[in-house]
Every structure is written in structure tokens, then in C-alpha cells.
Amino acid sequence: MTAGVGADGARVLDLGAGWPRLTSGPVTAMSGLAVPAVEAQDREPDETGGQTPRALRRARRRRAAQEAAEQRYRQRLARQNSAEAVPHRGAPGVGGGRVAALDPPAMWRATTVQACGLWPFASGSGAPMTGVPLGQHISTGATVCGDPLNWFTRARYISNPSLFMLGMPGLGKSTLINRMLIGLAGQGVVPLVLGDLKPDYADTVRALGGQVISIARGVGGLNVLDPGAMGAAAARIGGQAGEALAAESHGRVLNMVAALLTIVRGAPISDHEQSVLSACLRHLRERTAPGRTYRLPDLLAVLEEGPPQVRQVTLDRGQESRYRDAVDPLHRSLLGIVDGPLGDTFAAETATRIDPDATAVCIDISRIGEADGQLTAAAMLAAWSDGLGTVSASHALADAGIAPRRWFFTVLDELWRPLRAASGIVDRIDALTRLNRSLGLADAKITHTLKDAEALGSEADKAKARGFVERAGMVACAGLPRAEMEELARVVGLSRREIDLVSSWSSPAGWAQDGGNEEPPGRGRFLIKVGGRPGIPIRVAITDAERHLHDTNTRWIANGDAERMLAERAAVVRAVTAGDLPGTGQR
């Protein structure tokens, strides 16, 4: 400590003399402890009860932080509840809506000593709940939902939106497909039954407000040269996209005429004849006014006339005889269609066109006789050509932004019959099973056994038909004999227990029945297989409305009961169409 003299001459003691500079600042000279600045020190309330400025600032910062946290929480909730954040789940129709997924349950881990009452785990795996409700799990009683379209688009269970179903007659195969058809129609999907042979689905399509088109002699025909929905869509779209669609419709018409000629001849046409047909169709399209159609007699007239662009293809070199030699075989075959057994059905104007905006479409060919194989094959080919053309037109309009995007579900029941009718059907179905993902449609194929493919004419067709099962995303089995299940196990991969289960459904009931209304043991029971996963055995119980709309045993009902059943079915169709469903009961 030293003494000094102040400005006023007074003596001042310097208490910090001898200590380092700034020692009495942030760090004390005695202890070396850090002393916070004045504004950073906490203060007790002053004598008046108020807080110091430091405490007030801290309180304001705490309140601001709480308000900011609440604001961030509200913004996060708003983003989670926005229309873009909610996943696309649920039916898009009236009364539907999108539903967010539930949070996953908490997972816990324990030793076998701690969880001795739960181990070993005996509970079964959960049943799939995505898609159309099909029935109950036979073992657990849980509800099982599924269909090829929802399992492909939403659940991602399968990589190909297709279903192949096998089973003995009378066990409910078409009933299960009918359930899927109704459920998918309620979700906005358009069912297409392109060739109903019994019919099994006509009444259901009528009840859904759809379109039923009949093809048979004296009932209704189909102009195979009519571009249909594709031609109308091409004119509506216009530009380069419209020209591309028109060219595609030209190729579809050409393939259909070639298929008819193959059916009549019993052998494929040559490449030279296809070139002549293409030139004739192009000439007809150029000289026909927009909005008008041409028919097979017009095609014959072009061949008879021989315009320059057609003669150029035949290489006649200006000689009439060379031209006639080139086109006469094709001319004779076309005359066989027009004046033969197929002329009444395919040479006239289309009786009813497919409505692109229909909720469902069924092309009914059940009035064609069982023995008329040529007409059945031609009707199936024409129905598939027209139906898939409508699908292509719908997607083209959606791509152009003119119409909304629509999905389709095609049904091919009694697969064995169209496969045997014509080899062209095998190729068309083979292409469909490979390209249905790009076509925007799911499909269901129904037959009895794998041996149906063995009855085809050529080894190539047999190989293609066997590939239908291998490429199917879903395989559903009703009651089948053990030998058939062993054969199917080589393709699908069935366990011994699954083979025993499905084989038991095909066994006849015991002899001790009283002759009442007992049903076969396998009716309404199915095993659904997806890849190598364990099969899902289900039991389907139909409602009264479904029973009236889908009954394949109407010919075995006595006359008095037949009229009553038909009247009840008509009443159900009217009620379903009007949206006034009667009370339903389970069977």
C-alpha cells in the first residue's frame, strides 16, 4: 500500500499498490475465483417487491422460448394433418376418405425367465387387411382382405397384379371373384368381364349400374373393323399423340381380321396377305369420313376394286391376272366370313359399343351354343380386342389430361374353354399376363386344374398356358385332388400340410347324410398363396344379395321355385341399382 496526492492536494491511499494490473476485476486477487459481471449476477427482489432488470429479462426469454416451442408444435401438427401428408389409404368414393396409418406398437425385449408365461409364442401371424374383405381365417377367425389390385398398388405384397384360381366345379370359385368384383367397383375400379360364358357376372354388372353387351346370332353383333373407343379418343386428342393412337387402333383392327381369318381357315395367314389387308384398311380409313365406320363388305369391295396402293403391295406390275392371283385366296377367306357362319355377328354394325365411362362392363356370349366353337373363339377374340382397346383409349385420354386416370379389373372365367377355342386367345392372354402392369389393369383367371393346359393343340400353347400360374402374383386353390395338388406344388411351393388341407376339401361328404341341404365340405373354402409365404386358408360367407345375384345352379330349380328365384333376383338387382339394399344375412 502506497500513498499519493490527489487533484485537490489531499493525500490518497492506493490499496492496490503492488498487485498485478486488473487484479481487482473479474478475478479476485485473494482467491482467484471468477466474479461474474454485474449484469450477469442474479439479484433478489428489491425492497419494493419488484424484480431486478436481470431477472425480468430472463423471465421474458423463458416466455419467448415457450411460445416459440408451442408455435413449432402447432406448425408440425398442421403439416402432419395436411392433405399432402395423409397417405392415400381408404376408399376414394362417396363416404370414403383417406386415413393416416397408426403408430407402430412399442417393442419390448425380455428373457424366457421374465416372459415365461408368453414363451413359446403360440399366437398366429396377422391376417392381411388390405383390399376387398374376402372372409374369415379358418384357423384364427380373423378377417382376411385381399385382391390382386390392392395387394399390388397399396400393400406391395405381389409384383404382378394377377390372380390364378383353381378348383373343382361347384366349390365357389366364381363366387369369390364376384366378391372381389363388387368390392373393387366400390373403390372406383372398372371391372371388365370380356366374354361371360355362363353367364356368371351379368346380373352383378347390371346391379352395379354397368353395361351388359350380348353377342350371339340374332342377338347382337360386333363390327371388327370399328376402331371403337380408340378411334374416338384419337380424334379427341389430336396432334402427334392422336396420330399414334390412330396407328395403334389400325394395328388392333388388322390383328382382329387376321385372327378371324385364322379361325375360318384353321391356319395362320401369310405375311403377304397381312400386307394386303393393311393396305386395304388404310385405304378405307383415308376415304371414310370422320365419325363414320366401315364393315367387312366394304373391305371386300376394296379388294375387288384394286386401288393403286393395294395393287402396289401385290407387285402386279400392271397385270390384272397377277393381281387376282395374289388376292384371290384372301378374297375367298373373307367371303367365307361374310357369307358364312360368322357373317351375321361380325359383318354388321356394332349393336352396342362399350361405354368408356361405364362403372362395369360385361360382354355376354352365353347364348352361343356349346358346339359352336368357331363363333365362340371369334366372339372371345373380338371381346378382348374391343375391351383392351377401351382400356388403351382411357389411358391415352388420361395421359393427355382430358379424362381422369382409371384402373381396370379383367375377369376370365372358365379359362379352359377359350384356350381350346383358338390359339390366338393363348397368345393374347400370355401377353396380358406379362404386360398388365403397364396396361394399368389387374386380372383374374379361373379354371379347374392344371391339366386343362395339356389339352391344347401345340406344345408352344401348352408351355404358354403353364406359365400363367408361374407368373401369377396370387394363386387361390379351392378343393383339388391330391394328385393335382402334388403337381401344383412343383410350381407354387406348397407344404405337406397345405396339400393335405386342400385335398380334404375335394373329398365327398360321408354317406350318413340325411339328404337335406348339406353342402360339399370344400364349398367356400380357399387357400391363398403368395410366393413362398405360408398359405392363408379362408372361409367365404356370402350375403343374401350376393346369393341372388350369383347362382350358377338355376337350371336345377323346379319350375315354381324358378319363377320365384328369378323374381327375387330381379328385385335385388333393382334394389342394389337404386342404392336401397335389403337386409342381408350370412350363410
Given this model, what pLDDT does residue 526 score? 95
Q: Which is nearest to 160 in space by CA: 395, 369, 551, 468?
A: 468
Tens digits of per-residue pLDDT, 206-252?
999 999 999 988 888 889 898 888 888 998 998 988 988 888 888 88
The pLDDT of residue 586 is above 50? no
Q: Which is nearest to 471 in space by CA: 498, 437, 507?
A: 437
Stated pTM of the model:
0.71
Average pLDDT rounded to a whole number, residues 42-63: 70
The pLDDT of residue 179 is above 90? yes
Given CA atoms 27, 33, 34, 39 in this order, what sign does their dihedral have?
negative
Tens digits of per-residue pLDDT, 518-561?
677 788 999 999 988 889 999 998 888 888 777 666 555 555 55
Q: Are 241 and 235 in contact (CB under 8 A)?
A: no
CA atoms of 465 and 451, how far apart (whole Å):
10
Average pLDDT rounded to a whole number, residues 84-111: 64
Residue 288's pLDDT band (boundaries 50, 70, 90)? confident
Which residue's entry shows cell 321355385? Answer: 561
The pLDDT of residue 583 is above 50? no
The pLDDT of residue 258 is above 80? yes
Instruction: Pick from 17-26, 349-358, 518-527 the range whose average pLDDT is largest.
Output: 349-358
Q: Which is nearest to 255 in space by CA: 237, 265, 269?
A: 269
Which residue's entry shows cell 351354343? Answer: 369
User: Rounded to a whole number, what is the distance in angstroms from the first to the last CA of the chain?
Assistant: 111
Average pLDDT rounded to a whole number, residues 72-93: 66
Given this model, what pLDDT does residue 499 score? 92
Percent of the chain with pLDDT over 70: 73
Which carries the bigger pLDDT value, residue 546 or residue 42?
Answer: 546
Residue 587's pLDDT band (boundaries 50, 70, 90)? very low
